[in-house]
Amino acid sequence: MYTVVVGNIGTVYQGSNPAQAEHTYKEYVSQSKSNYGRAGGETVTMLKHGEIVREHVGSLDADRLFCD
């Protein structure tokens, strides 16, 4: 089971198709990097059986991770 989760949106894909999960992940990473729209700047995470396999840390979370 693959799951793709986007910051303030929540789960945007859940299913058994790895190609669809990868496509969805890449689409939301692109939106996150654009810093536009609801997914702009958000972290995007792809999980396989509940374990993180890919993660893009969005600019909104990067600021929080690296502050003192």
DSSP-assigned beta bridge partners for residue 66: none
The pLDDT assigned to 66 comes to: 55
The pLDDT assigned to 65 comes to: 63
- Give residue 38's pLDDT band: very low, low, confident or very high (50, 70, 90): very high
- On average, the pLDDT of the chain sits at 93
Residue of 10 and 59 predicted with greater confidence? 10
Are 20 and 26 within 8 A, CB to CB? no
Q: Is the pLDDT of residue 67 over 60?
A: no
Over residues 36-60, the mean pLDDT reads: 95
- The domain limits of the chain are 2-65
DSSP-assigned beta bridge partners for residue 9: none
